[in-house]
């Protein structure tokens, strides 16, 4: 098994086919999108391929060690991630092809008008885990 990270982006990826920003969706469209994501995760739980997933809030802080005492905290500058990354899912699959298949399916989550978003998802293997398939 190999673990992969699926990253959902607010922006920065190639434009989705159904590229209406979520803040312009109806409450019903948002509910349908979330339900799709939950149903997808539930299916992967049943097959043992689901590890974890989270949606991310746009707020964030940079924190660093700066010697003894309270660490410094700042609201940026960020490497754009708080504006870019909407959420993530970790999957544990047998092959790279399976990871690609699942990412493609997740990309079909409904958006505005109930139509699939066809969003681009970033698919990245965990570091230190040898690739299952080489090209």
- The three-state secondary structure class of 37 is helix
Q: Cα 7–101–38 angle (5° rounding)?
A: 60
pLDDT (0 to 100) of residue 81: 53
Rounded to 5 degrees, φ, ψ at 44 are -70, -30
Q: Residue with structure tokens 């994501």?
A: 37
- Is the pLDDT assigned to residue 93 strictly greater than 80? yes
pLDDT (0 to 100) of residue 40: 95
Q: What is the pTM of this model?
A: 0.74
Per-residue confidence band for 80, with pLDDT thresholds at 50, 70 and 90: low
- Other beta carbons less than 10 A from residue 117's beta carbon: 21
Average pLDDT, stretch 40-63?
A: 87
What are the pLDDT digits (tens) for 7-37? 887 666 667 778 888 889 999 999 999 999 9
Encode burial over 19-51: b for 16+ CB neighbours within 10 A, e otherwise.
eeeeeebeeebeebbeebbeebbeebeeeebbb
User: Residue 19, CB half-sphere, CA atoms under 13 Å: how many?
Assistant: 10
Q: Residue length, the chain?
A: 135
Identify the architecture of domain 2-56+84-125 in CATH.
2-Layer Sandwich (3.30)
pLDDT (0 to 100) of residue 1: 72
Closest CA to 39 of 25, 53, 28: 53
Under 8 Å between Cβ of 9 and 117: no
Q: What share of the chain is helix, strand, coil (3-state, %, to 5)?
A: 30, 25, 45
């Amino acid at each position: 098994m190999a673990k992969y990270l699926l990253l959902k982006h607010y922006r920065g990826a190639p434009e989705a086919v159904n590229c209406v920003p979520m803040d312009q969706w109806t409450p019903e469209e948002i509910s349908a999108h979330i339900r799709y994501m939950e149903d997808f995760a539930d299916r992967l739980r049943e097959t043992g391929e689901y590890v974890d997933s989270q949606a991310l809030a746009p707020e964030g802080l940079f924190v660093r060690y700066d010697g003894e005492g309270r660490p410094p905290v700042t609201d940026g500058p960020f490497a754009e991630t708080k504006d870019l990354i909407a959420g993530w899912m970790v999957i544990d699959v047998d092959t790279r092809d399976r990871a690609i298949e699942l990412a493609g399916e997740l990309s079909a989550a409904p958006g505005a008008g109930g139509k699939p978003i066809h969003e681009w998802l970033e698919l990245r293997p965990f570091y230190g885990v040898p690739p299952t398939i080489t090209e």
